[in-house]
Structure 1
Amino acid sequence: MSTMTWLAVALAVVLILAIGFVVLRQRRQRLRQRFGPEYERLINDRDNRGEAEQELRAREKRVATLDITPLTPESRQTYAEQWTNLQERFVDAPGPAVTEADKLVTAAMAERGYPTEDFEQQLLDLSVAHGRTLHHYRQAHEISGRAAPGEASTEDLRQAMVHYRVLFEDLLDNGDEHHRQPAEARHELPALQDDSQQR
């Protein structure tokens, strides 16, 4: 081969590698943006970044097969009212209120079309559209598990309600920032009151 041919081949290889690098970087950035903190959590849990990213893409493919739908405005209003009532009951019965919060979040998930039989699968499915709030759900679920046998303090239970509320609001907003209504058009949930100041 002539020198010009070698140069052309070398240039083509460098160009292909550069395009591959750019494509990989764009895919990685897209996953990072979509999954938020869940991306970093999974990367830290796995030995291999490529395997972690492949798992995230598999989650996207699975969720694409589910019939995830937005809540109707009427349904969103009903859930918001149920949450308000639940917050009021928290003051007198924090443990049962946290249990009810878990059920309310699960009901909203089910109505949106998420399978709700297995908590671990819920986490995987929710991570695709709700990755930025998923750590709140993990925290709330862990505290809720301690609440049943009476191993959670009132402050723990209050924190669980706050954590549940973050995912709950995300579910009511349908988890899609591009399709969220402006704040003035949404039915805003009232703030969770700090019961420690009321006692």
Structure 2
Amino acid sequence: MSTAIWVVVALVVVAVLAAAGYLAMTRSRTARLRRRFGPEYDRVLERQGGRAAAERELRSREERHQELELRDLDPRRREEYREQWVRVQERFVDAPEAAVEQADQLVTVVMGERGYPTHGFEEKVAHLSVEHGRTLDHYRRAHTISGKAATKEASTEDLRQAMVHYRALFEELLAPHGEAHPGRGEERTTGNPARHAAPHTERHAAERTDEHAAEHTAAPAGPPAGHRGDDRTMRS
């Protein structure tokens, strides 16, 4: 064959190899982002309307996240926050709306002490999503219920679920850095509650909260379908 044909063949081979390499790279990046952000990946994909735009947004979050000076909580402070959560949960029995508001405030305080921004819900969500993407849906649901509570539109069962959702993120924020690593957040949120056993006082408060919810709602006995994992978390 002539030199010109060999040149064309070589260019075609190089182009094919480059395309294959690019495809492998983009697939690997997509898989990594899906692992890291969990359900948040699909949420951003739907909002952005395309994979390329969604992944640019998520990589931008990662870059901004790297600028944060995150820190673990001192063990003593961690226990103090757990005790505060017990008191908030106990208050739910007599003042569920106030308890939900305090739970939101306590989660925000822990965010700030860990080094996360504490102003603007979407800003908080963007930074939290990098390491807590698999738990973030709990925070979104709790935030939605809190908005309903502010306008007196939330039922006692709604408020109880808000406490469950807030606690999912609260527990991850208390954990030392790395223990809430992406890919394990789902287990921490919905797994065996024995892995995160609470003191007797907290379990007792959770039981009283469930009893109070049952007295004030028309829901049938037992956890509603689709919420068995949340009930286990609340009772942990």
TM-score normalised according to structure 1 size: 0.89
* Conserved? CA contact 1:80–1:187, under 8 Å: no
5 Å-filtered alignment, 1:79-94, equals 79-94=81-96
Structure 1: distance between partners of 2:81 and 2:91? 15
2:231 aligned partner: none
Q: 2:124: which partner in 1?
A: 122
Distance 2:174 2:146 in 1: 21
Q: C-alpha displacement at 1:80, in angstroms?
A: 1.2
Equivalent of 1:151 in 150, 153, 178: 153
Q: Which moved more, 1:31-40 or 1:80-89?
A: 80-89
Farther off after superposition, 154-163 or 84-93: 84-93
Distance 1:22 1:138, change over 3 A: same
Matched, 1:197 2:211: yes
The match for 1:163 is 165
Q: Give yes or no for contact 2:89–2:209 (8 Å, CA) kept in 1.
A: no
1:112 aligns with 2:148: no
Counterpart CA distance in 2 for 1:165 and 1:196 is 15
Match of 2:23 in 1: 21
**By how many angstroms is 1:5 displaced?**
2.7
Q: What is the DSSP-based 3-state SS (H/G/I as helix, E as strand, rest coil) of the residue aligned with 1:115?
A: coil
Which residue of 27, 43, 47 maps to 1:41?
A: 43
Alignment partner, residue 105 of structure 2: 103
Ranges in structure 2 where 5+ consecutive residues have no aligned partner: 185-191, 216-236
CA shift, 1:75, in A, is 1.6
Distance 1:187 1:100, change over 3 A: same
Q: For the aligned residues, what is the CA RMSD?
A: 2.2
Whichever residue aligns with residue 195 of structure 1, its letter is: T
Match of 1:65 in 2: 67
Runs (4+) off by over 4 Å: none
Code of the residue aligned with 2:109 in structure 1: it is A
Alignment-derived partner of residue 139 in structure 2: 137
Match of 1:9 in 2: 11
- Matching of residue 78 in structure 1 with residue 80 in structure 2: yes
One-letter amino acid of the counterpart of residue 111, structure 1: E
Identity of aligned residues (%): 51
Q: Any unmatched runs of 5+ in structure 1?
A: none
Q: One-letter code of the match for 2:56?
A: Q
- Taking a change above 3 Å as real, the CA distance of residues 178 and 94 of structure 1, as seen in their structure-2 partners, is closer
How far does residue 56 in structure 1 lie from its aligned partner after superposition?
Answer: 0.5
Q: How far apart are the structure 2 equivalents of 1:81 and 1:137?
A: 21
Specify the code of the residue in structure 2 equivalent to 1:52: A
Q: Which amino acid aligns with 1:2?
A: A
* Cα distance in 1 between the residues matched to 2:207 and 2:166: 14
Instruction: State the TM-score, normalized to the length of structure 2.
Output: 0.76
Tell me the matched-pair count.
Answer: 195
Secondary structure of the corresponding residue to residue 66 of structure 1: coil
Name which of structure 1's ranges 29-38 and 4-13 shifts more when overlaid on structure 2.
Answer: 4-13
Letter matched to residue 81 of structure 2? Y
Question: 1:77 touches 1:187 (CA, 8 Å); kept in 2?
Answer: no
**Structure 1 match to 2:54:** 52
